[in-house]
Amino acid sequence: MDLSIVFLGTAGAVPTIKRGPSSLLIIRGGDRILVDCGEGTQRQLMRSVGISRIGKVLLTHLHGDHYLGLPGLLKTLSLQGRETPLEIIGPPGLEEFFRVAHPIFGRPQFPLELREVSAGTASEEDGYRLCAQRTDHGIPSVAWSFQEEERPGRFHPDKAIELGVEPGPDFGRLQRGENVVTSGGKEVAPAEVMDGSRPGRKIVVTGDTRPMDELEAFAEGATVLVHDATFVTAESDRAVETKHSTAKEAAITASRAGAGLLVLTHLSSRHNPRLVQKEAARLFPESVVPDDLDYLVVPYPDKGRPDLSSGRYWTESAGWSAECEQV
């Protein structure tokens, strides 16, 4: 199953010419999960994968740079004739916020399902779950994790044949966890012909936060950790004051959590992205700073390492979406 992340907006509270406010899209097979929706997100989607197939929106918190793209996105989806429900899950206060902001958001032409979570499993999907963890940002805020179920271990057809199983439907039964009986009357169990189960992939997005022990535990073993890196250490007092993290703090969390790759985001316009990356990489070498529209392919851990491609991918491939012409 393909899994990837499109970084739609990587700026901190103030956008720059090159970086928009927070948003990223997790794509797993046909599922599309938007995490945060800063101003301009819908155009970033149009420039890359399109906007129509978003199934869920996860919000980390209700600071404007994380949700101000929603009114426009919802309006466009309405104009496109969307009928399928859209679920928006966020921290406590989400429903009251939508009630108060109703005149701005308008009434979408499709069902909008709002749900508040502060911690724990928010959604069980086919093959993965979405979980929340409270974070430390001064207002109700959560980090999000996308966690796949374990996969069955590798099947060894040669071993099965050796035990007398004939290639065909019995191979499928063994791989689905069923015992089979050979033509010679011998019962063969899956454990005899398959390795132990393999972990699924895990993506954690912290949103804006100070470092926390609970967050390290939440991010444990993450294949990819997308972490707030608003500041560098030279401005660590600002990080404390505004309840954000420095690149170094993000690296410490990634290291303690045993993450595979650290993606630094929510960059302040005052810092050079290369210096942000360097500060983190001194402690955690597998650190990257994506540009807007960069695209991260996340293979199963036994199949390779996450691979970051340039946002130019979209203009050089069929990635350009014509949806913006359809309204």
Q: Which of 3-11, 56-64, 115-123, 254-262 is the region at the interface with Zn ion (rule: CB under 5 A)?
A: 56-64
Identify whether the C-beta of residue 274 lies closer than 8 Å to the C-beta of residue 258: no
Identify whether the C-beta of residue 249 lies closer than 8 Å to the C-beta of residue 216: no
Query: Is 208 a catalytic site residue?
Result: no
| 216 belongs to the binding site for Zn ion (CB under 5 A) | no
Among 208, 228, 249, 286, binds Zn ion (CB under 5 A): 208
Question: Closest by alpha carbon to 193, among 222, 227, 226, 165?
Answer: 165
Question: Closest by alpha carbon to 24, among 320, 300, 292, 322?
Answer: 292
**Would you give the DSSP letter of residue 81?**
T
Binding mask 274-313 for Zn ion (x = CB under 5 A): ----------------------------------------
Among 32, 63, 201, 266, binds Zn ion (CB under 5 A): 63
Q: Which of 59-67, 176-184, 218-226, 234-242 is the region at the interface with Zn ion (rule: CB under 5 A)?
A: 59-67
Q: Which of 17-25, 142-150, 153-161, 200-208 is the region at the interface with Zn ion (rule: CB under 5 A)?
A: 200-208
Catalytic residue among 31, 65, 170, 228: 65
Instruction: Report in angstroms how near the CB of residue 204 gets to Zn ion at its nearest.
Output: 17
Q: Could you tell me the strand order of the sheet in which 128-134 lies?
A: 120-125, 128-134, 142-148, 202-205, 224-228, 261-265, 287-288
Going from the C-alpha of 315 to that of each of 199, 203, 293, 294, 303, the distances in angstroms are: 34, 26, 11, 12, 27
Site residues for Zn ion per CB under 5 A: 63, 208
Catalytic residues: 65
